[in-house]
Amino acid sequence: MLLGRIRQVRRKNDQPVEVKREAIPELDEYLIRRDYTGAMAMLEFKRKDEPQNITNNLWLGHCAFHAGEYTKALEVYEWMLSLKDCPTEVHVYVGCCLFFMGRHKEAQEAAEKGPKSALQNRLLLLISHRTGNDQKVLAHHAQLRDSIEDQCCLATINYMRSHFHDAQEIYKRLAESNESFHAIAIYLGMCMYRQDYFEPALRLTNDYLSTHNDSVTVINLKAACLFRLYDGERAVAELKRIPEQAFASHYAKHILKHNLVVFQNGEAALQVLPALVDIVPEARANLIIFHLRRNELSEAHALIQYEPKQPTDYLLKAVVLCTIGYHTGKAEALEQAADYFQTVGQSVAECDTITGRQCMASHYFIKKMFEEVVVYLDSIKDYFKDDSLFNFNYGQAQLCCSNYEEAERRLAAVTDDDITADPVFMQSLARAYIMNKKPHLAWELYQKKRSSSGSPFMLDVIASDSYRSGYYYYAAKAYDSLERITNVDHWLAKRGCCAGLFQHVVNRRAPVQHLEEVLGLIERYNTSQAIYMITTISKWISDNKTFL
């Protein structure tokens, strides 16, 4: 979900209200329906007869602003400033328009020309945050009062700083004391969404849509929840409820275009996302993910060349550097990735979230501190029961901690074809089978994957782990297959397997058929040792057939 644009809805109450507007009876009908386009058409018609009517122009600017037509609203307000009787508060309204157009320096200059007011303070606070002026942020923050508008502004600042829990607490308090302000529930839902509480967020959107079924912002939030809880198909179907005209003209058109790409698994990503990188915060992240999936590491790396400010920024850098580190073997990239993961995982905004715990697990995974990895992944495993990537990582960590049963269970649950084709996955699952006394399953896995590029690595694991565990039959078969694939001689290992298996047969711990098969594997060695071993064991088998 793209929150940069949704924040604009949150600040609807920040639209200048200090100047008292006289009511226009026929306008009420449009405002009740939130039909700002219709209202603007009516006001434009009136404007032709009374172009300098202050009330009419104030309402026209108001409607244009709420319709997301900030350029139109700016034109109205700037024209009003040329009128003799124009209220000085209009300078602040100009600042509001410029702020939403991303022209922060001009917005500040315009706002400072207006009289001091609660609206001016809120606007300057938001501008200071956007421009990174922490000193001014503190100064304007100190001037906030307990009004709904000021508290919503404070929650917005917390939200934009990724302090979602703090923002949530403010909205909870406001919702309890202002039950008729239904939109606050959606702001609350947005905070929950960002903390990965998708089901509660979805319930809030459903409640809101039961009485306001045409809200583009809420439909978008619901679609995002459906995407995270279910799949992209349901999310796209929800977005399709938005009329095409509204989809194109609504203030959130950029976020809607972006989300449609995400919900459709990156379809048209290169056509849509690059233009949105500086508009929609999540566009950069999803473009990076798109490049990583295509193994375009240089393109992904180019997109993280900026100074990180928020946990999300650090997370993007961590993921890219981690991928580069594992693909290229660069230890420096992995060290940087580990540090960035730790920064996110220990941040106030993310320390108690699923994302934060995943980051700490990633940090310890890179550091090879697998017991810590298990602790963090254990705390969130219920959220990822059917997630192949989670099960792969969790299974590897359990394997490294010698928790073989849980490792096998998690690895066997992986269904993603890309992961099951990964040599590391094949080696891990084979090892889990062997350590759980199921070497036959490890061999069956090799038989299924023998045509893959990772099969030699899996054979090496099966051979060495089976030998150490006393499964000499499967060790011998694995060493023999390795010998045929790599042309590397494994006579000593196969000789040891044959001797070990012979001992097991003598002690009735293995069937003689296995021993006969292994003897066949060393028959091609025309050495005195091989001939002596084959002759001796064959004679013993012949002499003891009655007992075998």
Q: What is the pLDDT of residues 374-404, one digit of tens each?
A: 999 999 999 898 899 999 999 999 999 999 9
Confidence band of 23 (pLDDT split at 50, 70, 90): low
Domain that holds residue 240: 144-246
Average pLDDT taken over every residue of the chain: 90
Within a domain: residue 38? no
3-state secondary structure 153-165: HHHHHHHHCCCHH
Confidence band of 180 (pLDDT split at 50, 70, 90): confident
Please check the confidence at residue 13 and state whether its pLDDT lies above 60.
no
**Integer Cα distance of 71 and 265 in angstroms:** 33
Q: Domains in the chain: how many in total?
A: 1
**Integer Cα distance of 440 and 201 in angstroms:** 47
Mean pLDDT within 363-368: 97
Within a domain: residue 223? yes
Within a domain: residue 242? yes
Within a domain: residue 191? yes
Within a domain: residue 327? no
Residue 342's nearest CA partner among 318, 323, 326 is 318
Please check the confidence at residue 213 and state whether its pLDDT lies above 50.
yes
The answer to whether residues 14 and 122 touch, using CB atoms and an 8 Å cutoff, is yes
Whole-number pLDDT of residue 17: 44
Confidence band of 6 (pLDDT split at 50, 70, 90): very low
In angstroms, how far is CA 207 from the centroid of its own chain?
26
Within a domain: residue 166? yes
Please check the confidence at residue 330 and state whether its pLDDT lies above 70.
yes
Mean pLDDT within 346-358: 89
What confidence tens digit (pLDDT) does each residue in 411-454 have? 999 999 999 999 999 999 999 999 999 999 999 999 998 888 77
Whole-number pLDDT of residue 548: 52
Whole-number pLDDT of residue 9: 35
Confidence band of 7 (pLDDT split at 50, 70, 90): very low
Q: What CATH number corresponds to the domain at position 151? A: 1.25.40.10
Within a domain: residue 214? yes
Mean pLDDT within 74-82: 96
Within a domain: residue 183? yes
What are the C-alpha distances in Å from 324 to residues 35, 173, 266, 278, 330? Answer: 50, 45, 21, 24, 7
**Integer Cα distance of 153 and 122 in angstroms:** 6
Q: Which residues of 303-318 are buried (b: 16+ CB within 10 A; e: fewer)?
A: bbeeebebbbbbbbbb
Phi and psi at residue 163, in whole multiples of 5°? -90, 65
What confidence tens digit (pLDDT) does each residue in 118-174 have? 999 999 999 999 998 999 999 999 999 999 999 999 999 999 888 899 999 999 999
Mean pLDDT within 266-276: 93
